[in-house]
A and B are shown apart, each in its own frame.
Chain A
Amino acid sequence: MSGQTLFEKVWQDHIVVPESDANPAVLYIDLHLIHEVTTPQAFDVLRERGLPVRRPDLTLATMDHSTPTVPVPTLGDLDIVAEPAAAGQIRQMIDNCNEFGIALEGFESQHRGIVHVIGPELGATQPGKTMVCGDSHSSTHGAFGALAFGIGSTEVGHVLATQTLLQRRPKTMAINITGTLKPGVGAKDVVLALIGQIGVDGGVGHVMEYRGSVIRSLSMEQRMTICNMTIEGGARAGMIAPDDTTVQYLSGRPRVPQGADWDAAVARWLALPSDDDAHFDREVSLDVSKLAPQVTFGTNPGMVVPVTGHIPADTGDLSFRKALDYMGLEAGQAMIGTPVDVVFVGSCTNSRLSDLRETAAVLKGRKVSGQVRMLVVPGSQSIKQQAEAEGLDKIFTAAGAEWREAGCSMCLGMNGDVVPPGKLCVSTSNRNFEGRQGVGARTVLASPQTAAAAAIAGSIADPRELTNH
């Protein structure tokens, strides 16, 4: 009998009722992340049936999606800065959390921020946990060796009421990242190249495990960027085995076990990596030795080329043509030099302190092009504070960029931060779908460095020419 994968160990540890031909498994959920957009209908179901939230203590609540990124000093100010529907949704979140006894990281909290940023920051995200959220980028938390995946609002109700979910066991897929990254090429480039290779449906039905020496060399923030975009490759979840980097990141964070419990937890975590003889249903390899910074050219994250490359030739494919038509780009054209109107640095993919530092390193002593609007949105209020303590905000504003409060912001344009119709935005977010950043908005996905280089040039540019690489 072969050994177990990381996924199998975590899955097995959370089976309340085993799966059978007739029934899916009942899977226990250790941490439920909730936000204002995908929970109102779920709380309504509990209210209709007179059910309490089973484990408010295992529920982490915040406001991020439709939340303004301009200051909201008092709740009364909400109606001035937010659309009525968004303001109503935020108020309902506050009311629901009060009614059901859930602590909310709200406007007054230094921990408020994007749900996938604050979980790790607080140390609530831990190896070996099962975690869900009504948000597909829940896969982010897999960077710690948690099994974390997105669910819909009906399932949000299931977890609120029972702390469990009905689940069929997914298949496993090993992603072996080999080679050595060149300077100026990072985690975002790796994951974009991977999705380009396997396609946006390449992982459907699978949980991915990212493996290999490149993964081991990455920081937790970089690992989160990779796991975050797992869903863009169609997979249910992405995981990375915990190691010393994981333990060091978590050490001293507010919600990790303390004292003797910490030692026991670390021992348990370090036993989670896949056994040497574990079997994966599929294996994929990606050699990153020759990888250049990546940019998307189309309307899904799999339509990606090196920044120094050209859009592929027209094969007559309907979706390819529709994508280029939407983007206002031509088959075969070079990406460098494409005019840019907006640059967005933020989102659960790239809004952490290291992302802001990388952005600042490119912007320092330079000016954002006069034709570009640049928005920098930290992933959490705590990151905002740290960035300001380092003076990063001064670098952004001196360059001509806007510096905002934490939130999802222009990644999905729900809070009023939108890209105007027909305008092209180089964005550090995760989705370049039609209309994602606003009706008619055109999105090019890239790393923070590539986004910053585009802001300065006013067109798509190779960031390595602006840094020391």
Chain B
Amino acid sequence: MEKVTRIESATVVMPQTDIDTDQIMPARFLTTTTKEGLGDAAFSDWRYDDDGKPIPDFPLNRPGAAGSKVLVAGNNFGCGSSREHAPWGIVDFGFRAVISTQIADIFRNNSLKNGLVPVIVPDDVHAWLLANPGAKVTVDVASKTLTLPDGRSVEFPLDGFSQHCLLEGVDQLGYLQSQDAAIDQFEKARSWQP
């Protein structure tokens, strides 16, 4: 995984609450057997009209969205299906951080495996971000802070291990493999076998 340390970008804002992973990546794109190229499919049903043309009004189609690295979304982003195709698509589009007041558990876990930083902020900061699309913000993983254009900073929750994995680009499978002896021991010592 690529290292993620500091993200400076204008935001793209999608204010709806409870944006589920079926919106982020509709099921018909899940027949793919690779991770690549899902950025074009992200938010497909909201983003394109019946003829497949971009809807100019949709946030991802507005000028500047293509270069943005920070998505601001309504509360409870990423609920629903566990499909990792959702963060794959968001990352492939170019985002490196998602800001909301709450992010669904499975989506959050999947994001952290793909270098997408989940940033949870208080209601007042969230309200300001929703009202100011395109605001230039900075997400700093080392200090776990989000900095707004006026210089105000808020800390966001990120456990030490996830922070370390983002900063160093740690491969979590490699980490689990290094626990092999402990896993062997657990399998031998347990009182019942599954």
Contact = CB atoms under 8 A, between A and B. Distances in A.
Given A201-B75, A434-B45, A24 B159 contact: yes
B65 to A, nearest CB: 20
Interface in B170-194: 172-173, 175-177, 179-180, 182-183, 186-187, 190, 192, 194
A163 to B, nearest CB: 7
Determine the interface band of chain A, counting residues with CB < 8 A from chain B: 35 or more
Interface string A190-212: 00000000001100110000000
Interface in A1-54: 13, 16-17, 21-24, 26, 28, 30-31, 37-38, 40-41, 44-45, 49, 51, 54
A279 interface: no
Contacts of B109: 151-152, 155
B16 A168 contact: no
A432 B14 CA distance: 20
A168 B15 CA distance: 29
Contacts, number: 182
Most buried by A among B28, B114, B164: B28
Contacts of A234: 76, 79, 104-105
Given A152-B82, A161-B177, A234-B104, A413 B27 contact: yes
Interface string A40-73: 1100110001010010001000000110000000
Nearest to A436: B22
A135 B173 CA distance: 20
Contact of B186 (A28, A89, A302): A28
A439 B47 CA distance: 13
A421 to B, nearest CB: 8
Interface string B139-171: 000000000000000000001110010000000
B194 A89 contact: no
A182 to B, nearest CB: 30
Contacts of B15: 318
Contacts of B75: 201
B178 to A, nearest CB: 10
Contacts of B104: 201, 204, 234
A416 B17 CA distance: 30
A99 B28 CA distance: 27
Interface stretch (A80-88, A282-290, A399-407): A80-88
B18 interface: yes
A41 B34 contact: yes
A439 B52 CA distance: 12
Nearest to A302: B18
Contacts of B160: 21-23
Given A38-B84, A151-B109, A22 B161 contact: yes
A319 B16 contact: yes
A302 B76 CA distance: 13
A433 interface: yes
A268 interface: yes
Contacts of A161: 173, 176-177
B161 A166 contact: yes
A164 interface: yes
Contact of B18 (A28, A40, A268, A319): A319
Nearest to A31: B194
B107 to A, nearest CB: 8
A414 B22 contact: no
B22 A433 contact: yes
A315 to B, nearest CB: 13
A162 B23 contact: no
Given A16-B183, A151-B82, A434-B23, A162 B18 contact: no
Contacts of B175: 166
Contacts of B23: 433-435
B105 to A, nearest CB: 5
A150 interface: yes
Contacts of B76: 200-201, 204, 234
Contacts of B176: 26, 158, 161-162, 164-166
Contacts of A136: 80-82, 106
Contacts of A22: 160-161, 164
B26 A439 contact: yes
Residue among A26, A135, A165, A166 with the most chain B CB within 10 A? A166
B89 to A, nearest CB: 13
A46 to B, nearest CB: 9
B55 interface: no
Given A26-B179, A45-B173, A129-B194, A38 B161 contact: no
Given A157-B173, A200-B76, A318-B17, 11 more contacts: A134-B84, A135-B81, A161-B176, A161-B177, A162-B180, A164-B183, A166-B161, A166-B176, A201-B79, A265-B192, A440-B45
21 contacts: A22-B160, A23-B160, A28-B186, A28-B190, A30-B194, A40-B33, A40-B34, A58-B194, A136-B80, A162-B177, A165-B176, A231-B106, A268-B192, A302-B18, A322-B16, A412-B22, A413-B27, A414-B31, A433-B80, A439-B26, A440-B45
Interface of A: 13, 16-17, 21-24, 26, 28, 30-31, 37-38, 40-41, 44-45, 49, 51, 54, 58, 65-66, 83, 85-86, 88-89, 92, 126, 129, 134-136, 149-155, 157-158, 161-166, 168, 170, 200-201, 204-205, 231-232, 234, 236, 264-265, 268, 300, 302, 318-319, 322, 412-414, 431, 433-436, 439-440
